[in-house]
């Protein structure tokens, strides 16, 4: 689905229109512009920038809150610039208190992101599927969501409240918190669940539009998008599968190169160089260079 100039100015409006359809919208995780372009080429109508995948790609570290706001926004901006589809982005805890949250929203919105999610953990956070998470007091967490909503310049920009209370304090606390986050103005609710029973219980008992996170860790069931939609979820995130695929594929290629001291056996396991340049838009750059009288992008200087 191509986007008009107006859509690019209001990516949240494009995302909201996609979410009005029946069923759930799939948004695969894209840790980099390259991964985002591949997702778009595969036909996905939205992509998701995961915090964990970004941390591993940018710093080579686990999702324990080491990335800064500028690092996350920089990656989000590059991903947005690389695709036509709307981008949903992890914003961790908003990187501090309500004042920090407001700066976070403004920076992500200026980067062209369609939606972000802010979680109710203390700062620095931990991945939702790690042990040792600590929750903010409910009142403080709700105030941060209200601050995020107040900071956006475009009402179509979506603020998603992520609740990590299920494994810490149980379903009753999740319900209490989600009601408060909706009252604070959250557009959607993202409850981190780890089992099939929890996924179903959240769908039955938590009000408002829901996000389903198809995480690779824990005991999250491998539901398909139709089943996710039938349960009542509107957005299905698949955060780190591109990272997992890259880890396995790159590791195997490196091991083979090291073992035989050559690339002769790689064959169909790697993309062709023409695919490499096509994904980077070389043909388009060459066309622009010819249009304005310069040499082609791939040509050496005289």
Q: What is the pLDDT of residue 127?
A: 55
The total number of residues shown for the chain amounts to: 302
Task: Give the C-alpha separation, 87 to 115, whole Å.
Answer: 7
Task: Give the C-alpha separation, 295 to 286, whole Å.
Answer: 8
**Token code pair at residue 74:** 């920089």
Question: End-to-end CA distance of the chain, in Å?
Answer: 41
User: Kind and range of the H or E element at 211?
Assistant: strand 210-213
**Token code pair at residue 244:** 């997992």
Q: What is the pLDDT of residue 2?
A: 45
6-42 burial string, b = 16+ CB within 10 Å, else e? ebeebbbbbbbebbeeeebbbbbbbbbbbbbbbbbee
The CA angle 215-220-224, to the nearest 5 degrees, is: 80
Residuewise pLDDT in 10s, the chain (302 residues): 445 545 566 899 999 999 999 999 999 999 999 999 999 999 999 999 999 999 999 999 988 888 999 999 999 999 999 999 999 999 999 999 999 999 999 999 999 999 999 999 887 655 555 555 678 999 999 999 999 999 999 999 999 999 998 888 889 999 999 999 999 999 999 998 888 899 999 999 999 999 999 988 766 778 999 999 999 999 999 999 999 999 999 999 999 999 999 999 999 999 999 999 999 998 998 898 888 876 665 666 55
Q: Which domains does the chain have, with CATH numbers?
A: 5-239 (3.20.20.60), 247-291 (no CATH)
Active site residues: 48, 63, 90, 92, 117, 119, 127, 162, 192, 213
Q: What is the pLDDT of residue 91?
A: 96
173 strand-pairing partners: none
Task: Give the C-alpha separation, 55 to 93, whole Å.
Answer: 15
Task: Give the C-alpha separation, 146 to 217, whole Å.
Answer: 31
**Token code pair at residue 76:** 């989000």
> What is residue 253's three-state secondary structure?
helix
87 strand-pairing partners: 47
- The answer to whether 27 touches 217, Cβ cutoff 8 Å, is no
Alpha helices in the chain (DSSP H): 5-9, 11-19, 33-41, 51-59, 69-82, 98-110, 138-151, 166-169, 171-183, 196-205, 225-231, 241-260, 273-279, 282-291
């Amino acid at each position: 689905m191509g986007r008009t100039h107006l859509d690019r100015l209001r990516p949240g409006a494009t995302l909201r229109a996609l979410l009005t359809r029946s069923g759930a919208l799939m948004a695969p995780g894209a840790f980099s512009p390259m991964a985002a372009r591949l997702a778009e080429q595969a036909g996905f109508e939205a992509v998701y920038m995961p915090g964990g995948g970004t941390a591993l790609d940018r710093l080579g570290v686990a999702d324990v809150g080491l990335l800064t706001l500028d690092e996350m926004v920089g990656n989000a901006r590059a991903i947005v610039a690389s695709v036509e589809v709307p981008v949903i982005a992890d914003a961790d805890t908003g990187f501090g208190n309500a004042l920090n949250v407001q700066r976070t929203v403004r920076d992500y919105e200026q980067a062209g992101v369609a939606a972000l999610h802010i979680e109710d953990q203390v700062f620095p956070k931990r991945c939702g599927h790690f042990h040792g998470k600590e929750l903010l007091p409910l009142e403080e967490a709700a105030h941060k969501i209200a601050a995020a909503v107040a900071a956006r310049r475009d009402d179509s920009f979506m603020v998603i409240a992520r609740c990590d209370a299920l494994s810490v304090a149980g379903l009753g606390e999740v319900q209490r918190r989600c009601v408060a986050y909706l009252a604070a103005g959250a557009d959607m609710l993202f409850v981190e669940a780890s089992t099939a029973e929890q996924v179903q219980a959240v769908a039955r008992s938590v009000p408002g539009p829901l996000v389903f996170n198809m995480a690779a860790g824990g005991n999250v069931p491998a539901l398909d998008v139709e089943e996710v939609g039938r349960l009542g979820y509107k957005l299905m995130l698949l955060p780190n599968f591109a990272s997992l695929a890259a880890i396995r594929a790159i590791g195997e290629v490196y091991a083979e190169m090291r073992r035989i001291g050559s690339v002769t056996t790689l064959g169909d396991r790697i993309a062709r160089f023409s695919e490499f340049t096509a994904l980077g838009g070389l043909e388009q750059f060459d066309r622009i260079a010819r249009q304005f009288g310069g040499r082609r992008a791939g040509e050496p200087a005289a």
